[in-house]
Amino acid sequence: MIEVSNIHSHYGKSHVLHGVSFDLKEGELVCLLGRNGVGKSTTLKSIMGMVRPSHGGIRFEGQELVGMRPHQIARLGVGYVPEERRIFRSLTVHENLLIGMKQVKNGGVPREPWTVDRVYSVFPRLKERCGNKGIHLSGGEQQMLTVARTLMGNPKLILVDEPTEGLAPLIVKDVLEMLSAVRKAGVTILMVEQNFKAAVKVADRFYIMSKGLMVFQGDMPALMAAEEVRRNYLEV
């Protein structure tokens, strides 16, 4: 579905990604692991067009994404769920969902498109709070809203950046179950996560990054077997 090959990205003068390559197949939930500052978020932003890679290519369903603007990439069917949630503070929950609607090119809407009603039936908590302003939601509610907002655009692939950051353990479980449910509904997911133990339960495959490079890829048994990799690149 998406193939990232040898991308280099910069933030101002600092060279963050040094040739990152990986791929996702349709229907997968892949987790990108690694310590702080190794370039995980930058990888997502590079796919989304928010950071423009200086070298390399990103092909999504056969189309080259490098050089496109974020809204064009979004319209091809890529959804971005940012770190820190980035809920629109002064908009109500309902309005936050409405803004997520967009026209999807490249194959049109899925069989079962996401609508406000469908979102409310999957996330009853959001329905209860539909008239509240974004700023008044709890962390867990904000995380649900930011995922739901992106789903409203009927993406084929969503890029989820640290969905469990700053949430209580009980809520972390909810959020990961929610992402599993979204994947079962047919959306491919690339998730960046610090919380290795939580991510292990839901992901099909794992990539580990270090200093702007991929240093490991494999499924859960492979990750469990690679003790040295985990010690060097994940455990504190």
Partner 1 sequence: MNEIFVFSLHGLAYAGLLFLVSAGLTLVFGMMNVLNFAHAAMYMLGAYFSYTQVTTTGLFWPSVIFCPLLLFILGALVERFLLRRVHIHGHLHELLLTFGLAYIITELVKWIWGNYPLAVNITGFLSKSIHLFGIIYPVYRLFVIFCAIMVGVAMALILYKTRMGIVLRASVNDGEMVDALGINVPLVMMGVFAFGSALSGFAGVIAGPLLSTYPGMAHEILVDAFVVIVVGGFGSLGGAVAASLLIGELQSFGVLLFPKLSLALVYLLMAGVLIVKPSGLFGAKQ
Site residues (vs partner 1, CB under 8 A): 48, 50, 69-71, 74-75, 80, 82, 86, 88-91, 95-96, 98-103, 149-150, 153
Closer Cβ to partner 1, 149 or 183, answer by number: 149
CB-based burial label for 180 (10 Å; 0-12, 13-18, 19+)? middle
Q: How far is the CB of 85 from partner 1 (least distance, A)?
A: 10
Q: How far is the CB of 95 from partner 1 (least distance, A)?
A: 5
Closer Cβ to partner 1, 15 or 69, answer by number: 69
Closer Cβ to partner 1, 126 or 198, answer by number: 126
Closer Cβ to partner 1, 134 or 212, answer by number: 134
Give the span between the Cα atoms of 49 and 36, in whole angstroms.
21
Task: Give the tokens for residue 173.
Answer: 């479980």
159: nearest Cα among 16, 41, 8:
41
- 223 SS3 class: helix
Closer Cβ to partner 1, 75 or 173, answer by number: 75
CB-based burial label for 40 (10 Å; 0-12, 13-18, 19+)? buried
Q: How far is the CB of 15 from partner 1 (least distance, A)?
A: 20
Give the span between the Cα atoms of 226 and 195, in whole angstroms.
18
Computed on alpha carbons and rounded to an integer, the radius of gyration of the chain in Å comes to: 17
Closer Cβ to partner 1, 23 or 95, answer by number: 95
Q: How far is the CB of 148 from partner 1 (least distance, A)?
A: 12
Q: How far is the CB of 138 from partner 1 (least distance, A)?
A: 19
Q: How far is the CB of 9 from partner 1 (least distance, A)?
A: 16
Kindly list the distances between the CA atom of residue 15 and the CA atoms of 18, 22, 159, 202, 216, in Å, as whole numbers in the listed order. 7, 19, 22, 32, 21
